[in-house]
Amino acid sequence: MLLSTYQMPVLPGLDTPRDVYFALTDPAPLAGMAYPSWSPLWDNLYQAGLRHIVCLTADAFPYDPAPLRPLLATRLEDLLGQHRPKDPAAEGPKVLRAAAAVARAIAGGQGVVVHCAGGTGRTGTVLGCSLRLLGYPATEVVHWLDQLNHERGMGGWPEAAWQASVVEGIADGAAIRRPTRGGS
């Protein structure tokens, strides 16, 4: 089940859901956040079960997130105020590569936090695709992202229709298998 803002962990020094928000806590925490321009409280994120970080604003990490481990850095195009990326054929595979890395980590029991600049469009797209790969229905994921970002004061989700189309375009059954309780 995707978490409501009332079910999300509250971390010391961070505003939930504005600074950081959680989609899942089981099988591992999956979180999104804005670019860490606030004094990064990496230890607080680690204590919440997050082990890896994905940066969507650069092709290399511009900071040291220790004790979190870098999982992937890839510059995705900011689509705020646009309809689609300048090169959708190049952007789509980058989104899906990030989402697959996140979904594999979550399925393996390793928590992940994903960020872009505002934590809404690019982050939501990668989180949404990751959730689809973990078996969540497209309608539930898109609704959750929209409601979450309204509650964050971000005006909803998606920022561009293309973002929702990427999430919705992941075929049902394309899931990376989530472990079930009991380890099977």
Residue 10's nearest CA partner among 39, 53, 41 is: 41
Could you confirm whether 129 is annotated as catalytic?
no
The pLDDT of residue 176:
66
The pLDDT of residue 121:
92
DSSP 21-83: EEEE-SSS-EEEE--S-S---HHHHHHTTEEEEEESS-SS-SS--TTSEEEEE--PPP-TT-S
What whole-number distance in Å separates Cα of residue 151 and Cα of residue 145? 10
SS3 115: strand
Q: Which domains, and CATH codes, for the chain?
A: 20-169 (3.90.190.10)
Q: Are 163 and 125 in contact (CB under 8 A)?
A: yes
Q: Which of these is catalytic: 30, 107, 116, 134?
A: 116
Where b means 16+ CB within 10 Å and e means fewer, 39-67 reads ebbbeebbebbbbbbbbbbeeeeeeebee
The pLDDT averaged over each successive group of 10 residues in the chain (184 residues) is 95 92 98 84 95 98 95 93 84 96 98 96 97 96 97 92 93 60 40
Q: Work out the burial of residue 85: count CB atoms within 10 Å of its CB; fewer than 13 is exposed, 13-18 middle, 19 or more buried.
A: buried
Count the helices and strands in the chain (H runs, E runs).
5, 5
The pLDDT of residue 27:
96
For the beta carbon of residue 113, count every other beta carbon within 10 angstroms: 30
The pLDDT of residue 39:
67
Tokens linked to 37: 């321009």
The pLDDT of residue 1:
87
Strand partners for 33: 20, 115
